[in-house]
Structure 1
């Protein structure tokens, strides 16, 4: 039995974010392999945290910049260590390499943080993304962490290609690992078009692209929809809504900020159309995958659909746009007003056309079956880990840049952490 240590940036909250659901699917894959799993995090436990102990996973609180972690990992002696996002690799990677040099080191990127930041900066300046944006200091840190690890899990097909072609990361240390879903849910009965009503938007408010999307929806898109559909409502769900979000609630305008959804699947299944007007971001968008799973067609931007793979084959309906199970709009920062107007009109059309709506629903089901089936994806993940583990020395020898960056990390991050620890003891 292999021992797996997962170092979490936060404690998993599968009902609050796509990142939490994806982490839980990774943990379940490890348990399926009959591996012993320990989840450790320096973060405070949130109110929506999943009970990992009920799944047979050991929970452990750890501290940043503290040698107590050294004692913990020496005692545990894991065979595999997974870092949840590159910041955790920066903080603990050198300690893992020092005390468990034979442990396979995996980075779960979730999304490329540097890409999200670069797009946000470009949006604020209302310009297109540039090469200098992609080569930011944050990108250098993030890509360095990818090189230092034996394997990095890349959730988005777009980012998988970007890392290889722009940053020249070897394919041998990357694995495209999208959402892994239980597709048996597709066969459950769901409300039909006539049984559904209103629009829905969902996403953790602590994730800045989600807040930006809600603000754009409220200010520019929803007034256009409401003008043509005066009885429709916009239901906005998301964990941890700040006061600035709850202040957008306006019953007279039909814009209802609902906050955290205890059962996201239930509220998504009741809605007729999901709206995700994302202007920046990275990775995969859990809200859109969940919409497909619930049979809810969606309207989104090119940012929202990015990395989701190509349209599934075997559609014999030429009347449906195979690019997306709903409507998809190309977003450009310099034409936001016209994009908002077109977005609103596409949302209205989808809301009023039952035949097209049903075609989009079934396309969504095919999309999930083509790209997000947990059975083959889980097997691919486990096979990749086992293959690298069985050839670890050769695998690392072929990644000289990773070895070089690991060497320099010892000389910088290690000494900085030790200095902080010594300072904290005074």
Structure 2
């Protein structure tokens, strides 16, 4: 049996974040290939963390800047190590290379953080994003991490094309692997549904900004649909979120959704005026698979529908957003057509079976031709040699300092 180690930023919470669902989908791909998985993280397990024991996945806490990790990774001796986002590769990549040099290193980007960071800055400065905005500090760190790894998993076709065409990253070290969707057709009819809904983990800044956008435009929807409410769901809602709750205005903060499918089956329309972000949006993919039409922004729908018609409407204009939301809420024919569009997108673009075989083939090829693969990635070899030396010795210095303070 082959060993896989995943170094996670946090323990996966599939009911809180799309990243948590993504991690479980990755695990399932490797479990189907009979890998023994060990999940390591510097974070603590919370009450919302997925029960890894239920999948026979071993797990353990690890410590930053500590040679205990060296002994552990050497003992496990994995064939593959997956880094959950580039920051974990920065922290532990050099140790993996030093202790288990023949392990294939895979970076799961989740989304391109430098793209999200640049878009957030442009949004807050009320300007259009330019190419130079992308070349930020996060860009340099994230691209370096991509180059140091044997393979990076990219969740969005837009981001895949950006890396290949705009930044000339060799396609051989990239693999497009989106979130997967399994269609669960809803039996709840249009006439049985009530209200609008929005959902998103509040630790994620784009989700908080989306709620602020909704607060701004909701009064215009409420004027024309006085009986309607919007229910805002999301994990880790803070006091500032609950301060937006206004029962009389029909703007209802619900907090964590215990069951997304049930929540979506009760609602009539999902609203997601996402102002910035990256990757593909878990909430919109779930709206497709559960049959809930939506109105979103161009950023929200980015790289999510190919040549298919969207399951609702896409607009960045506030007035048009309100109009489309009301139309979708009132017109059953448009609503039903939008629902079917969502099922078609999920089936044709996000079904696991579309990617599983090619992914396994790619992994197995790298395992069998690792030296050849690495030699072709000469920039990665250079970065591995030079950049990680500074990371290594900084970590060693912190480790030594910590030992003296104990």
TM-score with structure 2 setting the length: 0.98
Matched residue of 2:123: which SS? helix
Match of 1:202 in 2: 199
Contact 1:38 1:57 in 2 (8 A): yes
- Structure 1: how far apart are the matches of 2:402 and 2:26? 35
How is 1:3-402 mapped onto 2 (pairs within 5 angstroms)?
3-183=3-183, 185-186=184-185, 189-218=186-215, 220-312=216-308, 322=309, 324-329=310-315, 331=316, 339-402=317-380
**Structure 1 residue 363: Cα displacement:** 0.7
Contact 1:293 1:368 in 2 (8 A): yes
Per-residue CA shift, 1:310-362, capped at 9, x if unaligned? 133xxxxxxxxx2x110001x3xxxxxxx222211110011000001000000
Write out the 4+ residue segments of structure 1 that deviate beyond 3 Å after TM superposition.
Answer: none
In structure 1, runs of 5+ residues without a counterpart are 313-321, 332-338
**Structure 1 residue 309: Cα displacement:** 4.1
Matched residue of 2:355: which SS? helix
Matched residue of 1:359: which SS? helix
**Structure 1 residue 397: Cα displacement:** 0.4
- Structure 1: how far apart are the matches of 2:388 and 2:202? 36
In structure 2, runs of 5+ residues without a counterpart are none
**Structure 1 residue 190: Cα displacement:** 2.1
**Structure 1 residue 258: Cα displacement:** 0.4
Per-residue CA shift, 1:79-102, capped at 9, x if unaligned? 000000000000000000000000
**Structure 1 residue 387: Cα displacement:** 1.2
Per-residue CA shift, 1:225-270, capped at 9, x if unaligned? 0010011000000000011001111110000000001111110121
Matched residue of 1:29: which SS? helix
Contact 1:190 1:294 in 2 (8 A): no
Per-residue CA shift, 1:206-241, capped at 9, x if unaligned? 0000000001111x2111100100110000000000
Match of 1:318 in 2: none
TM-score with structure 1 setting the length: 0.93
Contact 2:182 2:289 in 1 (8 A): no
Per-residue CA shift, 1:259-308, capped at 9, x if unaligned? 00111111012110001110000001000000111110000000001121
Matched residue of 1:284: which SS? coil
- Structure 2: how far apart are the matches of 1:398 and 1:358? 50
